[in-house]
Amino acid sequence: MIRAAVYARISSDDGTALGVTRQVEDCRKLAAELGWQVVDEYVDNDVSAYSGKKRPAYGAMLADLGDGRIDAVLAYHADRLTRRPIELEHFVEAVTAAGVRHVRFVSGGELDPGNGDGLLVLRMLAAVAANESAGKSRRVRRKLDEVAAAGRPHGGSVRPYGFDDDRITHRPAEVAVIRQIVDRYIAGESVTSLAGWLNTEGITTVQGGEWKTTTLRGLLRSERIAGLRVHRGEVIGPAVWEPIITPAKRDKVIARMDAAANTGRRTPRRYLLSGLLRCHKCGHTLYSAAREDRRRYVCQKGPDHGGCGGTMVTAPPVEELVADAVLYRLDTAELAAALTGRAADDDHAAALAEQVAADRAQLDELAALYADKAITVREWMAARRPIEDRIAQTTRSLARITRTDALSGLVGNGEELRRRWADLNLTRQAAIIGAVVDHAVIGPGTPGARVFDPNRVEIVWKL
């Protein structure tokens, strides 16, 4: 575990002074993110790093570095450490002598003072430190944090539905709409049906547009309408505005939404080519839609789907045709050739898998820090998010590379697979097709045609 010292300083040469508490807080957060342990905090109040006056805490930190108890130094920004080049040289001397390998700033990356590049960057940072504009965007961000902590709203380009431009005053007409749709949703009506109702009633969004289910879902589950203040994704307490619905009602909305999402995943797959077919006219993905027991793929209009509404095809013959073409392709030389390019992918996949493992280890380390009470639950959550995002992204890349694993043992065995095809379940069939087919374009149908025209299907191969 890397033991870190945090250094913070506030002074009159800052213009808008950055609170020492905030600096220390951000450094602690960064430490938690990195899995470092903060062993000491050094704070100088009201001492300019430019004046050359003595800074007691700074001096103490440099002295402590000599004891070898500290592996890293964390500060909010290079300009906290020093603004005088000569002092910087002292600092560099002290950290290199003490074998401190990490100097890290909340705004800016990792520096290794032990190598020439790190030193150069440190010197450049010190040179830039005098530049007031460099700190501007950081201060704006800090300001938002402070505003959020006080429960006040902050600006954005579009006012929230239900509220005036001041983001506090209710708009009675919109408040009535929100209360009605929340009640109807809790009573069991679907988001799609509610969005349809709003659009038929001519009730528009804040920007005057039609309601998409995603927009409506976002409104229904928003913390804001329940009078809760959120910052960087977390509820941080009651807001200054009046709630439109009670937090208890919001809990019911969330509960129903989560339940719906769960059962949604359990619905068995009924459409072999979901997501694989595209409309020849507008290029949008066709959606599965049944009418009176006839399964079909349809280009759907409307704000949710964005298609042109001009293409429709009956499901069974297309599914049969595409599956047949895939089985045939499995036995072609073209496919075998495409698969020989996979060795390089395997190395890449191994590297990605390693990265996921490392990220998971870091999450475990964070959890341990939280268990040891070295960090608060909010620091823990904040530190987790970027790592979890990274894991999700890496896993997606990994899935893309390893998708062809669905084909292992099948290449060259298309004929045999054809005999077993009907016995495979739909998920397995879809995985095999998805490994070989990128997408298929559905062309125009002949009006009144009773027989499916195979020329309507143009398959674009992935492999």
Instruction: Summarize as ranges the residues that interact with Zn ion (CB under 5 A).
Output: 279, 281-282, 299, 307-308, 310
Write down the least CB distance from residue 29 to Zn ion, Å. Answer: 48
Q: Let me know: does 65 contact 94? Beta carbons within 8 Å.
A: yes
Strands 312-314 and 294-298: antiparallel
Rounded-to-integer distance, Cα 147 and Cα 141, Å: 10
Cβ nearer to Zn ion, comparing 114 with 310: 310
Cβ nearer to Zn ion, comparing 119 with 286: 286
Write down the least CB distance from residue 312 to Zn ion, Å. Answer: 10
Cβ nearer to Zn ion, comparing 227 with 307: 307
- Pick the closest to residue 73 from 84, 85, 88, 52 (CA basis): 88
Cβ nearer to Zn ion, comparing 309 with 412: 309
Write down the least CB distance from residue 289 to Zn ion, Å. Answer: 13
Write down the least CB distance from residue 306 to Zn ion, Å. Answer: 9
Write down the least CB distance from residue 237 to Zn ion, Å. Answer: 47
Classified as helix, coil or strand, 76 is: coil
Cβ nearer to Zn ion, comparing 313 with 437: 313
Cβ nearer to Zn ion, comparing 200 with 446: 446
Write down the least CB distance from residue 280 to Zn ion, Å. Answer: 8
- Pick the closest to residue 80 from 9, 160, 16, 159 (CA basis): 9
Cβ nearer to Zn ion, comparing 133 with 446: 446
Three-class secondary structure assignment of 194-211: HHHHHHHHCCCCCCCCCC
| Interacting residues of 429 by C-beta distance below 8 A, sequence separation 6+ | 272, 323, 421
Write down the least CB distance from residue 433 to Zn ion, Å. Answer: 22
Cβ nearer to Zn ion, comparing 308 with 356: 308
For residue 395 the two structure tokens come to 């896993």
Alpha-carbon distance values, 81 to 18, 43, 136 (Å): 14, 11, 18
Write down the least CB distance from residue 279 to Zn ion, Å. Answer: 3
Q: Let me know: does 194 contact 203? Beta carbons within 8 Å.
A: no
Three-class secondary structure assignment of 8-19: EEECHHHCCCCC
Classified as helix, coil or strand, 440 is: strand
Write down the least CB distance from residue 281 to Zn ion, Å. Answer: 4
- Pick the closest to residue 76 from 124, 42, 52 (CA basis): 42
Alpha-carbon distance values, 120 to 4, 82, 110, 156 (Å): 22, 15, 13, 39
Fill in the DSSP letter of residue 347.
H
Cβ nearer to Zn ion, comparing 34 with 457: 457
Write down the least CB distance from residue 303 to Zn ion, Å. Answer: 15
Which of 23-31's residues contact partners 24+ apart within 8 Å by CB, and which partners? 23/75, 23/76, 23/80, 23/106, 26/76, 26/106, 27/74, 27/75, 27/76, 27/106, 28/375, 28/379, 29/106, 29/379, 29/382, 29/383, 30/74, 30/104, 30/106, 31/4, 31/6, 31/74
Cβ nearer to Zn ion, comparing 334 with 458: 458
Residue whose beta carbon is closest to Zn ion: 279
Rounded-to-integer distance, Cα 291 and Cα 155, Å: 47
